[in-house]
Amino acid sequence: MPSLTPVNARISVIGAGPGGLTCARILQRHGIPVTVYDRDPDAASRDQGGSLDLHEEDGQLALREAGLLEEFSALARPEGQEMRGLDPAGRLLSHHLPDEGEMARPEIDRGHLRELLLRSLAPGTVRWGHTLASVGGPADGPRTLTFTDGTTAGTDLVIGADGAFSRVRPAVSAATPQYTGFGFLEAWFDDMEHAHPELCELVGEGSAHAADGERALFAQRNGGGHMRVYLIRHVAADWMTASGLRPEDTEGIRAHLLREYASWSPRLLKLISDNDGAYVDRPLFALPVPHTWDHSPSVTLLGDAAHLMPPLGVGVNLAMLDACELALALAGSPTVGDAVRTYEKTMLPRSAETARLLEGGAAHLLSVTMPEERPK
Average pLDDT of span 163-180: 97
| Amino acid 126: pLDDT | 98
Judge whether residue 370 has pLDDT over 70.
no
In CATH terms, 179-285 corresponds, of 3.40.50.300, 3.40.50.2000, 3.40.50.620, 3.30.9.30, to 3.30.9.30
pLDDT band at 365 (very low <50, low <70, confident <90, very high): confident
pLDDT band at 1 (very low <50, low <70, confident <90, very high): low
pTM comes to 0.94
Sequence-ordered list of residues with C-beta below 8 angstroms from that of 154, at least 6 positions apart, any chain: 10, 142, 143, 144, 145
Domain ranges in the chain with CATH number 3.30.9.30: 179-285
Average pLDDT of span 82-110: 94
| Whether the Cβ atoms of residue 54 and residue 76 lie closer than 8 Å to each other | yes
pLDDT for 104-120, tens place per residue? 999 999 999 999 999 99
What CATH topology corresponds to 6-80+104-176+287-361?
Answer: FAD/NAD(P)-binding domain (3.50.50)
Cβ count within 10 A of residue 114: 19
Average pLDDT of span 187-214: 96
Closest CA to 270 of 227, 212, 213: 227
| Amino acid 369: pLDDT | 65
Domain ranges in the chain with CATH number 3.50.50.60: 6-80+104-176+287-361
| Amino acid 236: pLDDT | 96
| Amino acid 45: pLDDT | 84
Alpha helices in the chain (DSSP H): 18-29, 59-65, 69-75, 110-119, 192-195, 197-203, 239-242, 250-260, 266-273, 304-307, 315-332, 336-358
Can you state the angle between helices 266-273 and 250-260, rounded to 10 degrees?
150
Q: Decide which of 360 and 286 is more confident.
A: 286
Question: Rounded CA gap, 130 and 312, in Å?
Answer: 30
| Amino acid 191: pLDDT | 97
Average pLDDT of span 267-274: 96
